[in-house]
Structure 1
Amino acid sequence: MKSCTVQSRSLRFHYWQAGTGRPLILLHGFPQTAYEWRHQVESLSDQFAVFAPDTRGFGGTDKPRHRVTRSLLARDLIDFMDALGLERASVVGHDWGGMIASKAVLEHPDRFERVAFIDTTCSVWIPWAMNGYWFKVEGLAEAFFERHHRAFIDLLFGGIPADYPGPPENPWPNRLPVGADPSRLFGPDALEHYRRAYADPDTHFHCIQYYRSGVPFHRRRGESFEFVPESEIARMWRHPGGIAKHPDHGEFLVYAPEDLHLRYAGPALFVYTPTVVPGPFRPGGSHADFAAGNPAAAAFATHFPNLETVGHAGTHFVPEEAPQLLDRVLRVWLARPTA
């Protein structure tokens, strides 16, 4: 796998590339970089020209301090394709990469052969993902990343206990559950990579922007929507009993009301874990009714009518935790005809 750069209309992108054939783009999530796809870039390069870019603000890609929206990030992806001369491609997105991919294929369907989502959402936020609320409280994320960025990465990818304070100062625990050992999944090279990547204050800015501006919360009112201002989210977060005790917490807020009536007819795949779709899994397979009672999951079937689903009873970091499983799933799905 080669480390490459390319200049688009507005950004200089860093990306990893390997292989020849039909183009396949892999988009990373938070708090990672395109390095999270290192296994798939290599393994899938025997059949595809694989490209894994660092998205705006992360890794080796430019970090202009601009307001970030999902439309901007989708436009970045199209510009990246244009800079490489890719008229059409398949795209796979994990976490935030999936949120970018969904916007891109809904707004630019003619540019994509198919789309796969790995443990993400596409238009509706999951209320148990507390970081989505926390990022909107002015000052909290800024202070946390300035003081604790290394401890955060060390805990998440190395299992090293952290000494940072809990809620409301941050939404994450400072200890992992007994028996959890992410160092087995990621290894020392990955830990050091993410330490370096998340030591950059410009990346901290983009972490905050992605969630604060890129995920505007709305309450659904039938076929219309009501914007929930950040000041209201802040009051919810600072509730004396914690946000979980706030009477309005628990509703599934929509962050892409403008996409309500958009559909992508091409092949789509949703690989999910209990992070996004909690509940019991059948051995070796998906939920029988994966979207029941979960509007965030149901939104995939609405926007992507040609959808397949696969459940994985593991952690959120599927590309690194279960690379062989994901490789098999993607190969089978990518081999299917598009029509």
Structure 2
Amino acid sequence: MSRNLSAELRHVFHRVAADVSLHAVVAGSGPAVFLIHGWPQTWYEWTPVIDQLAEHHTVVAVDLKGAGNSSKPMTGYDKVTMAAELDALREALGFETVQVIGHDFGGMVAYAWAATHREAVTRLGIFDVPIPGADLWDTIYADPTVWHFSFHRNPDLPEFLITGREYGYVESFFRGRTSNHGAFTDDDVELYARALAQPGAIRSTLGWYRALEQDAEDNRKFKQEPLTIPVLALGGADRWGPKIAEMVSEFATDVTGVSIPECGHWVVEERPDVVLDALANFLER
């Protein structure tokens, strides 16, 4: 898969809290679309789709707090706090409203953003991720494919075991959760491994996992008032795709579900053509 971009990229940094600056890559013009990555990735996850999205939209691909070139503070990784920081970035960039697309942990943050800033988020995409607080959440830790949810929540031990082994650890997540085995090159794996090896990055991104029970508690309250904006629930047929529309419908009333055949967890890299088609039909221009 080619990662060469023709769109002109602008790197921006904004302080969104006393101890948090967020980095984002901006491209194109038109209605704003925020793209939010998952673990163990950075804004670079979205490179397969940025060029085409930027033809009709202002694309803002963010490094979440804890990842990439964004700040890595000691605390504040519950998704409500992270969503508030993204909304501060929206305001700093001058957008009154935004459409938000999130994959993996980015989907969790995107939902929290839409639920807590309902006047700002007009459309929401959640890609291949379970939402904390969903009905299935109480049994999720029994699913052997999410063994890492429990492991990553342990204090200190994951940092000790991952440090110095970032490449192998990252590679195992990509290769073991994909149906299209050409989706990631060795260079892609190396890029994400280097990002994870930055000072504080392992600890910070594991903080996303360590906040999951707080996230579930928050989301159970939010879903008492379901979202009414259009929501795109998309997943790989070999991962969350068969379940994602029903799950997201617990939290929103206007849900379009897409399960991508012959696709695993990494939907953007594995099937960018299908993702782009789905977004073309979903996003406002």
Question: Which amino acid is 1:312 matched to?
Answer: I
Q: Distance in 1 between matches of 2:202 and 2:10?
A: 23
> Residue 121 of structure 1: CA displacement?
2.1
Q: Distance in 2 between matches of 1:194 and 1:117?
A: 22
Question: Which amino acid is 2:148 matched to?
Answer: N
RMSD: 2.4
User: Is 1:312–2:263 an aligned residue pair?
Assistant: no
Runs of 4+ in 1 over 4 A off after TM superposition: none
Question: Contact (CA 8 Å) 1:3, 1:14: kept in 2 or not?
Answer: no
Which residue among 301, 312, 324 is the counterpart of 2:273? 324
Instruction: State the identity as a percent.
Output: 24
Question: Which amino acid is 1:310 matched to?
Answer: V
For residues 105-139 of structure 1, what are the alpha-carbon distances to aligned partners after superposition, in whole Å with 9 as ceiling and x for unaligned? 01111101100111012233333222212222233
Structure (1 or 2) with the greater strand fraction:
2
Q: Which residue of 1 aligns with 2:194?
A: 196
SS in 1 for 2:213: coil
Question: Contact (CA 8 Å) 2:37, 2:104: kept in 1 or not?
Answer: yes
User: Is 1:97–2:127 an aligned residue pair?
Assistant: no
> Residue 335 of structure 1: CA displacement?
4.6
| Equivalent residues in 2 for 1:243-282, closer than 5 Å | 256-273=219-236, 274-277=238-241
- Runs (5+) with no aligned partner, structure 2: 1-7
Which residue among 227, 240, 248 is the counterpart of 1:300? 248
User: Is 1:50–2:59 an aligned residue pair?
Assistant: yes
Q: Which residue of 2 aligns with 1:76?
A: 85
For residues 273-319 of structure 1, what are the alpha-carbon distances to aligned partners after superposition, in whole Å with 9 as ceiling and x for unaligned? 23225xxxxxxxxx5xx47xxxxx64411211000100013110011
How many aligned residue pairs are there?
Answer: 266
| Equivalent residues in 2 for 1:1-339, closer than 5 Å | 1-10=8-17, 11-123=20-132, 124=134, 125=137, 126-127=140-141, 128=143, 129-157=146-174, 159=175, 176=176, 182=181, 184-212=182-210, 214-216=211-213, 256-273=219-236, 274-277=238-241, 290=243, 298-313=246-261, 314-335=263-284
Normalising by structure 2, report the TM-score: 0.85
Q: Distance in 2 between matches of 1:109 and 1:4?
A: 27
Question: Which amino acid is 1:268 matched to?
Answer: V
SS in 2 for 1:24: strand
Q: Distance in 1 between matches of 2:197 and 2:41?
A: 12
Structure 1 pair 73/67, CA: closer, same or farther in 2 (3 Å)? closer
Deviates more, 1:100-109 or 1:188-197: 188-197
Q: Distance in 2 between matches of 1:131 and 1:78?
A: 29
Structure (1 or 2) with the greater helix fraction:
2
Larger radius of gyration: 1
